[in-house]
Amino acid sequence: MRILVCGGAGYIGSHTCLSLAERGHQVVVADSGVNSSARVVPRLRRLAGMPVPVHRVDLRDRGALSVLFATYRFDAVLHFAALKAVGDSCRRPLEYFDNNISGTIVLLQTMQAAGVRRLVFSSSATVYGEPAQVPVREDAALSVMNPYGRTKLVAEQLIGDLCTADTGFRAANLRYFNPVGAHASGLIGEDPCGEPTNLMPYICQVAVGVREKLRVFGGDYPTVDGTGVRDYIHVVDLARAHVDALEYMVREDRSVTVNLGTGRGVSVLELVHAFERASGRRIPYEIVDRRPGDAASVFADPSLAQELLGWRAEFDVDAMCRDAWRWQAMNPEGYRTSVRRTPVMRVRRPKIVAARVADAY
């Protein structure tokens, strides 16, 4: 199939492009560049071993998106393009609504106009708010804790309404738990803008000396060691789940909503210690006050994904830490500076009909 990957230059999107390529699908990327680096592109092409056209397009730019859909005939769309920082969303809610919700609406309208009726959507465990029970099943109550979470829940709902109205439209809502790790090559990985808000990239930056120490938010939760428990999932496992979901939609001609996690809860300190073992570096930390809005313990019941998609996570926490560390050690400042230059593969670029969506890279 030929797949449009919106947000395909970002962290999860870039890993999923590789999984798609490995399974023989053609990939076209649309990315606004707002939270991704152009430097991912040559690496992606090299790892994929095939041409990957990358277009700088913001989903809210209806004209540019229409040109893209007129240029290629897509069989499906994978939609990763969203702002994703919880704290930032509380400060700039309208930006989040516009980027994440308006962008999704324009994408759906453009898909409908072009007759493309399969969508895999990056949702999040955030749609469960603070879950009343763990492990969390897909039929748990949904709620909103912050503007970012609202954008994910609203997007799921409007995709659901479209599936009801257009009986031929199929969607997969994939509710990610805590994606971490990097591709085994160390060439692509997570490169947050500014100070990381998530735990694993923060640990990585402490390990490499970019940050002095980790602040552990809360040591008095009712958990194994008092620190918050989450379900960390290797980004390569997560990427594979997108291809499984896509192929499920096509094979079964059905929509689906599933959790993507390992089903195993890991505390902040357990992750810190696993990372120390994997990297051989000490991670200095101090326990500080709880972060407002954080739940004590959130982990998935991933059995529905296994039952329907035949998917289950394969990598454990040690592998997540090993791969996250390899990426950080090879790219101490992310894509901005690297230890060594990545050879750029020559690619045959497709002819683009309009300058507005010309291959930006």
> Among residues 66 and 328, whose Cβ is nearest to ligand UFG?
328
* CA–CA distance, 222 with 235 (Å, rounded to integer): 28
> Among residues 84 and 183, whose Cβ is nearest to ligand UFG?
84
* CA–CA distance, 324 with 316 (Å, rounded to integer): 12
User: For residue 349, how many C-alpha atoms fall within 13 Å in the half-sphere facing its CB?
Assistant: 15
* CA–CA distance, 274 with 207 (Å, rounded to integer): 13
* CA–CA distance, 58 with 360 (Å, rounded to integer): 12
In the list 35, 123, 124, 257, the residue contacting ligand UFG (rule: CB under 6 A) is 124
- What are the Cα distances from residue 254, in Å, to 79, 169, 232, 246? 18, 9, 28, 10
Task: Tell me how many residues contact ligand UFG (CB under 6 A).
Answer: 20
Q: Which stretch binds ligand UFG (CB under 6 A): 26-34, 42-50, 122-130, 340-348?
A: 122-130
Q: Which stretch binds ligand UFG (CB under 6 A): 52-60, 123-131, 244-252, 330-338?
A: 123-131
Smallest gap, in angstroms, from Cβ of residue 164 to ligand UFG?
26
Determine the distance from the C-alpha atom of residue 7 to the mean position of all C-alpha atoms in its chain, rounded to a whole number. Answer: 9
User: Is residue 125 part of the contact set for ligand UFG (CB under 6 A)?
Assistant: yes
Catalytic residue flag (residue 11): no
Q: How many of the other CB atoms lie within 10 Å of CB of 251?
A: 8
Pairing state between β 178-180 and 232-234: parallel
User: For residue 113, how many C-alpha atoms fall within 13 Å in the half-sphere facing its CB?
Assistant: 14
* CA–CA distance, 6 with 177 (Å, rounded to integer): 20
User: Is residue 217 part of the contact set for ligand UFG (CB under 6 A)?
Assistant: yes
User: Is residue 291 part of the contact set for ligand UFG (CB under 6 A)?
Assistant: yes
In the list 39, 55, 183, 230, the residue contacting ligand UFG (rule: CB under 6 A) is 230
* CA–CA distance, 361 with 30 (Å, rounded to integer): 11
Residue number of the CB atom closest to ligand UFG: 228
- What are the Cα distances from residue 217, in Å, to 124, 130, 276, 312? 21, 17, 19, 30
In the list 17, 136, 199, 313, the residue contacting ligand UFG (rule: CB under 6 A) is 199
Catalytic option among 11, 148, 335, 361: 148
- Let me know: does 101 contact 37? Beta carbons within 8 Å: no
Phi, psi of 278, rounded to the nearest 5 degrees: -70, -35
Q: Which positions from 53 to 92 touch ligand UFG by CB under 6 A, shown as an x/- string? A: -------------------------------x-x------
Q: Which stretch binds ligand UFG (CB under 6 A): 68-76, 196-204, 303-311, 340-348?
A: 196-204
Smallest gap, in angstroms, from Cβ of residue 146 to ligand UFG?
8
User: Is residue 233 part of the contact set for ligand UFG (CB under 6 A)?
Assistant: no
- What stretch of H or E contains 147? helix 147-165
User: Is residue 126 part of the contact set for ligand UFG (CB under 6 A)?
Assistant: yes
Binding site for ligand UFG (CB under 6 A): 84, 86, 124-126, 149, 178, 197-199, 202, 214-217, 228, 230, 268, 291, 294
Catalytic amino acids? 148
